[in-house]
Amino acid sequence: MSLAPPRPHRDDWRIAVGGLAGGVVLWALGIHPRVGADPLVLWHAPWAPLVPLAVTAACEPLRRVLPRTGLVIGTAALVLDTVTLGSIVTIVLYTDLMYAAVLYGTPAAARRIPWVTGMLTVVAGVVPAALWRDPQGLLIGVGVGVVAFGPAATGVLVRDHRDAAEAARLRAEQTALLAEMDRVQAVTAERSRMARELHDMVANHLSAIAIHSTAALSLDDPDTSREALAVIRENSVAGLAEMRRLIGILRDGSGDREPAASPTLDGLGALVDGARANGLEVTLDAGHGKVPAPVELAAYRIVQEALTNALKHAARGRVRVLLRQDDGVLDIRVTSPYRPGDAPRAPGSGAGLTGMRERAALLGGTFEAGPHDALWSVRATLPLTEGDPV
């Protein structure tokens, strides 16, 4: 597919038309920079200045789309203008072509044109002064500098400012993009954290409610139903309290509710008592000292979720919870009887294992879970010092 050639900017057309009209007016009024007696005037026809004027004006629409071509043709027109009575407008239009060639041209042209015009300015001033042995010869260099080097130098300054502004804009866009990426990552991480907290806080209680409500509906025994309803009520109240705690965390700083303290390993006893009340036979062996708060919260949630999974999936038998602190790590093991093929007593989504694995990974620890010797084993090792996330 062929690309259409670039079209001249409308402002460049206005410059061309305005310059041509102004030059014609000055020509009609007989205003010229040179007189007929000037030895440089070789073309004495009255209409001669209009030719380079028209050519230079015709180059103006090229100042953005083909700046180098416009400058070359404009230079030839300016040379032609020097052998006529001349026009001030032709010179002014040429300075604009020089300026545009630096501003809109290639980077190589922007470097070379000021250097070439600077050398021409020096040569045009020094050589005539040396040949004529007259300081007034320097005025020729001044004229070349005003017509050529001055516009070129101005184009360099404007181009540098334009490039600097563009670079600043790109940096601002990159900064905004990085900030947006950081925001998205932060929101995603916070959503994952909230999902883990919500799952770990209420899954245990809802699983117990599901299991005991099933028992209450399936057994026609008033005493069993009463016991199941008591367990259901206890877990409902505990789950509601946990939900209120989560809402308190989300509203922290709003003035509506202060968040409750995060659970600690000191609460493992109460957690195990709750599991026993839900029908699990649980033993707890916790041998650990003081651990950092993030490790403490992660360990509590891992044990909580492991007991929830045991409530839903474990066969009858003893569930063992073991915590040991050794060599700068906290080792957590939860084992429960496992019998392949048993249907779960309450539905599950698999999010619990994912949440435990994420909690361990965020602290730079390890996590594994699976069957082993008729037992379902959950093991996590959490470093007690800050480590690189896995």
Q: What is the pLDDT of residues 231-284, one digit of tens each?
A: 677 767 767 777 776 666 666 554 444 444 567 888 888 888 888 887 788 899
Residue 207, in any domain of the structure: no
> Is pLDDT larger for residue 56 or for residue 387?
56
Distances (CA, A) of 292 to 295, 327, 329: 5, 15, 11
The residue ranking higher by pLDDT, 239 or 353, is 353
Q: Are residues 67 and 167 in the same domain?
A: yes
Number of structural domains (the chain) is 2
Residue 133 or residue 318, greater confidence: 318
Over residues 328-355, mean pLDDT = 76
Which position has the higher pLDDT, 232 or 78? 78
pLDDT in tens, 85-101: 889 999 999 999 999 99
Whether 216 is covered by a domain: the verdict is: no
Q: Looking at 174, 205, 232, which one is the last position of a domain?
A: 174
Q: What is the pLDDT of residue 380?
A: 93
pLDDT above 70 as % of the chain: 80
Do 169 and 302 fall into the same domain? Answer: no
Residues 290 and 161 reside in one and the same domain: no
Closest CA to 268 of 248, 288, 241: 288
* Residue 16 belongs to some domain of the structure: yes
Per DSSP, the three-state class of 367 is strand
Distance between CA atoms of 148 and 146, rounded to whole angstroms? 6
Tell whether 159 and 268 lie within a shared domain.
no
In a domain, 102, yes or no: yes
pLDDT tens for 187-214 read: 887 777 777 766 666 666 666 677 667 6
Confidence of residue 219 (pLDDT cuts 50, 70, 90): low
The sheet carrying 329-337 orders its strands as: 281-287, 318-326, 329-337, 375-383, 366-372
Q: Give the residue-averaged pLDDT of 128-135.
A: 76
> Which of 174, 199, 219 marks a domain boundary?
174
Mean pLDDT for the chain overall: 82
Q: What is the mean pLDDT of residues 120-139?
A: 80
Q: Per the domain annotation, does 74 fall within a domain?
A: yes
User: 247 lies in a domain?
Assistant: no
Residue 346: its pLDDT value, please? Answer: 58
Two structure tokens written together for 277? 């009340």
Instruction: Give the pLDDT confidence score for residue 390 in this predicted structure.
Output: 39
Residues 162, 297 within the same domain: no
Residue 149 pLDDT exceeds 60: yes
Q: Which one is predicted more confidently, 211 or 355? A: 355
Please give the Cα distance from 57 to 115 (Å, whole number). 26
State mean pLDDT over 139-148: 86
Measured distance CA(156)–CA(158) in Å, rounded: 6
What's the sign of the alpha-carbon dihedral 21, 22, 28, 33? negative
- Which of 60-64, 147-151, 301-305, 313-317 shows the lowest per-residue confidence on average (mean pLDDT)? 313-317
Q: Is residue 148 part of a domain?
A: yes
Please check the confidence at residue 308 and state whether its pLDDT lies above 70: yes
Kindly list the distances between the CA atom of residue 70 and the CA atoms of 67, 149, 246, 275, 327, in Å, as whole numbers in the listed order. 5, 17, 72, 88, 79
pLDDT (mean) for 358-368: 89
- The residue out of 174, 199, 222 marking a domain boundary is 174
Tell me phi and psi for residue 171, to 5 degrees.
Answer: -65, -40
Residue 346 is part of a domain; what is its CATH number? 3.30.565.10
pLDDT, tens digit, for every residue of 60-77? Answer: 999 999 999 999 999 999
The 10s digit of each residue's pLDDT in 14-35 is 999 999 999 999 999 988 888 7
Host domain of residue 72: 10-174
Instruction: Please tell me the distance from the alpha carbon of residue 238 to that of residue 274, in angstroms, as a whole number.
Output: 10
Flag whether 31 is in a domain. yes
